[in-house]
Amino acid sequence: MINFLNKFFKTSNNLDYIVKRIKGISKDTPVKNIFLCINNFSPESELRYVGGCVRKTIRKEIIDDIDLATNLSPQQVCEALKKYNINYYKTGFEHGTITAVIDNHNFEITSLREDIKTYGRHAEVKFCTDWKKDASRRDFTINAIYSDIEGNLFDPHNGKEDLKRGIVKFIGDPEKRIKEDYLRILRYLRFFLVYSNYKHDSKIIRLIKKNIRGISNLSKERLLNELQKFLKFDVLISLAKDKFSSRLFEIIFPQIKNIRFFVNPNNFVKEKIKEGDFIFLLSVLIVDGTDNVEYFLYKYNISKKDQKRLGVIDNFYRNKITSQSFSERELNKILYYHGKQSVLDILNYRIFTSKKAEKKYLDLIEKFRTKVLPKIPIQAITLKEKYDIPEGKKLGKKLKMIEEEWIDNNFQLTEKQITDLINR
């Protein structure tokens, strides 16, 4: 009976586009298989979309992840998935989250919960079957909107109306919500920058300032994950223009030094931001000619490949920059030692941090996009066979000497030059 009433309690009168988009997700992704197995588990069982995917559906945004909620317990979710041979991981089993995997798609399924005790990020929860209680423990009204597979919304906190009006509102007591999980300070900033049509509420500002130290209790992994969500076009541009948000952001991420570069981006910069290249955008924010990048990499766990990419940009701009630094000859060296991506990063960084997109840098970018990596004109086997140099240190030294001369000569050496080098 409760399940029946919940379906109709504050169920929105959906616009056709919402129904169409929700049905599109259900039709075009493997998530329909999860709805099938959960909804058929028992007469009372039910699965609904929740959070970001519903919010983005309403706002006609790109949906990049799908979160689901169910009135089944975590153990029952596992049983239902097993019955339909759907693979899963117990990613947060004790807190009710199972990740189902179908055709390389991950779907987080979380059982309805109510808090028993809360202390920071961690909470003692009790699984329940009450959708209203689950909605009441969520952070913002715009994140507590649910939808069934047909696009019927369950919206107990009027999140859809808040989205329409551009209001970012905590559910319940804002300070309690923040203290439950201090990451909500950053989440508030991000949602405010994307969705709000109003100025910051002075009460919320005071609460954030009062509780900002709680951020230090968060893991670096969670902070880095949230940082990635800020380096998107609509968030980043708004962040740069909002004084309170940008100052707070720099307090939370003290290595972020260059938000100002995104205040009035030119068209080239706008298009580059839309590509969503997190490591490059991060480089623009943290490369400042000091040891700032090193400190950031010390604090946050980034892959070796991405560390190397940041390091090349950082090392280039730590040196004294002249017009010669961007000559094709010098860039060819970077291409050879570090690859095409590094050259493009260095040129893109130059444009991002300049007042305008200068034609000479744009032309170099186009040239290096298609440029082939130079290949040394002689190999070790040639030195052994043609010049009778035996395997060993001498061979390695000769080959290294030829390579260095070839690089310094703009990747050109005649056969006579090679012979002269060998005979030195």
113 vs 374, more confident: 113
Asked if 239 and 245 touch (Cβ cutoff 8 Å), the reply is yes
Identify residue 389 by its one-letter amino acid code. I
Asked if 99 and 34 touch (Cβ cutoff 8 Å), the reply is no
pLDDT 10s digits, 264-316: 898 899 999 999 999 999 999 999 999 999 999 999 999 999 999 999 999 99
DSSP state of 89: E
d(CA 402, CA 331): 20
Predicted confidence (pLDDT) at residue 8 exceeds the cutoff of 50: no
- DSSP letters, 242-308, are -HHHHHHHHHHSTT---GGGGSS--HHHHHHHHTT-HHHHHHHHH-SSSSHHHHHHHHS---HHHHH
CATH architecture of 2-172: 2-Layer Sandwich (3.30)
DSSP state of 26: H
Q: Which helix (H) or strand (E) holds 100?
A: strand 97-102
pLDDT for 123 equals 59
Least confident of 38-42, 48-52, 193-197, 384-388: 384-388
- Mean pLDDT for the stretch of residues 128-154: 94
pLDDT for 4 equals 43
d(CA 98, CA 68): 10
Asked if 58 and 160 touch (Cβ cutoff 8 Å), the reply is yes
Q: How confident is the model at residue 7 (pLDDT cuts 50, 70, 90)?
A: very low
pLDDT for 120 equals 52
pLDDT 10s digits, 229-256: 999 998 999 999 999 999 999 999 999 9
pLDDT 10s digits, 56-101: 999 999 888 899 999 999 999 999 999 999 999 998 888 889 999 9
Predicted confidence (pLDDT) at residue 132 exceeds the cutoff of 60: yes
- Mean pLDDT for the stretch of residues 6-10: 43
Q: How far is CA 351 from CA 148, 235, 267, 299, in A?
A: 47, 21, 11, 28
Asked if 410 and 332 touch (Cβ cutoff 8 Å), the reply is yes
- Mean pLDDT for the stretch of residues 9-26: 72
Q: How far is CA 127 from CA 112, 134, 349, in A?
A: 6, 9, 49
Give the residues across from 115 on adjacent strands: 125
Asked if 46 and 154 touch (Cβ cutoff 8 Å), the reply is no
Q: How confident is the model at residue 118 (pLDDT cuts 50, 70, 90)?
A: low
Predicted confidence (pLDDT) at residue 42 exceeds the cutoff of 70: yes
Q: How confident is the model at residue 11 (pLDDT cuts 50, 70, 90)?
A: very low
User: What residue segments make up the domains of the chain, in order of their start?
Assistant: 2-172, 274-369, 380-422
- Mean pLDDT for the stretch of residues 348-361: 92
Q: How confident is the model at residue 117 (pLDDT cuts 50, 70, 90)?
A: low
Asked if 402 and 421 touch (Cβ cutoff 8 Å), the reply is yes
d(CA 150, CA 19): 6
pLDDT for 357 equals 87
Burial (0-12, 13-18, 19+ Cβ within 10 Å), 307 = middle
pLDDT for 401 equals 85
Mean pLDDT, the chain, whole residue set: 90
Q: How confident is the model at residue 5 (pLDDT cuts 50, 70, 90)?
A: very low
Token code pair at residue 177: 């919500």
Phi–psi pair at 97, nearest 5 degrees: -110, 125
156 vs 390, more confident: 156
Asked if 244 and 238 touch (Cβ cutoff 8 Å), the reply is no
d(CA 389, CA 372): 30
d(CA 55, CA 153): 11
Predicted confidence (pLDDT) at residue 420 exceeds the cutoff of 70: yes
Please tell me the pTM assigned to this model. 0.85
d(CA 55, CA 291): 40
Token code pair at residue 118: 């809360």
Predicted confidence (pLDDT) at residue 12 exceeds the cutoff of 60: no
Q: How confident is the model at residue 15 (pLDDT cuts 50, 70, 90)?
A: low
Q: How confident is the model at residue 10 (pLDDT cuts 50, 70, 90)?
A: very low
d(CA 170, CA 137): 10
